[in-house]
Amino acid sequence: MAILVTGSTGVVGKQVLDHLSGSGAEVRALTRSPEKAEFPAGVVAVQGDLSDVDGLRRAMTGVSTLFLLAPNAADELTQALQTLSVARDAGVKGVVYLSVFKGADYVDVPHFTGKYTVERMIEHDDLPATVLRPAYFIQNDARQKDPLLTHGVYGMPIGAKGISMVDVRDIGDAAARELLRRERADAPLPRETYELVGPDALTAESITLIWAEALGRPVRYGGDDLDLLEQRLKAAAPSWLAYDMRLMMRRYQQDGAVASPQEIARLATLLGRQPRSYREFATAMAAAWTKA
């Protein structure tokens, strides 16, 4: 039997595949274009798309464990619910679902509420699943290279409440550990939930200080302007997605997204180490940018 990884060509999917590499498990990666995919040695590319139910049924043949990452799409919720149903009907014995941190609380943010609805299906149908709830990705801030280096500005309007950002490498590590645990079990395992978070409550002030230290130059915060954020995002994303991101950032500014010590400790137990910090990321990125 095999592990099937969806979202395999994205940032998180690639991390999951890298962490599964060398595990001895049979790993398949769902992709629209198998002929173009570049996966680690031993990973089998499988043609498919979460919006194509018949294709999903074919892809699910011989699969015992599923990593479900639904795309940022207008019909994300439909795709996720249908994929879970297809997996259940195919007899998949274990699922690892990528949800979101604070999904139950940010009810006015569409993709948060959608992911929490998927969690409700998992609970209602008592599916043998691990739900992973990642916070804002640390690596999203790699896009701050130009404003940081050119203007000395950190431009993501995260506000002052605090966000426990998570390193995507920790997401991949956690997902792979749970996929292998479920794949190697003789029978379906009980449900589990983990908050995937970093060790620090990061604010605009603390992040600018981290970047100033890493770059060796003054860095200032670009401010809380959400109109500007939405317009900037529209240049690279559909308007509905830009607005969704605006709503998310507004909740970050209003309420924050800070993990509890217990949530951080539980993740550390899963990983077998402390989660990576934002400072580690900033220091490494600053060194790479300087070298380049």
- Amino acid found at 93: K
The rounded distance, in Å, linking the Cα atoms of 88 and 96 is: 13
Which among 59, 56, 71, 52 has a CA at the least distance from the CA of 11? Answer: 71
Residue 107 burial class via C-beta count within 10 angstroms: exposed 0-12, middle 13-18, buried 19 and up: exposed
Which among 131, 138, 65 has a CA at the least distance from the CA of 100? Answer: 131
Structural domains in the chain, sorted by start: 2-134+168-195 (3.40.50.720)
Confidence (pLDDT) at 37: 87
Q: From first to last of its 292 residues, what are the pLDDT tens digits of the chain? A: 899 999 999 999 999 999 999 999 999 999 999 988 889 999 999 999 999 999 999 999 999 999 999 999 999 999 999 999 999 999 999 999 999 999 999 999 999 999 999 999 999 999 999 999 999 999 999 999 999 999 999 999 999 999 999 999 999 999 999 999 999 999 999 999 999 999 999 999 999 999 999 999 999 999 999 999 999 999 999 999 999 999 999 999 999 999 999 999 999 999 999 999 999 999 999 999 988 7
| Buried b or exposed e, range 160-185, using 16+ CB within 10 angstroms | ebbbbbbbbbbbbbbbbbbbbbbbee
Q: Is 122 helix (H, G, I), strand (E, B) or coil?
A: helix
| Buried b or exposed e, range 217-250, using 16+ CB within 10 angstroms | eebebbebeeeebbeebeeeeeeebbebbbbbbb
- Amino acid found at 253: Q
Residue 21 burial class via C-beta count within 10 angstroms: exposed 0-12, middle 13-18, buried 19 and up: middle
CA distances from 92 to 60, 78, 155, 191 (A): 8, 19, 43, 14
* Residue 239 structure tokens: 């308007």
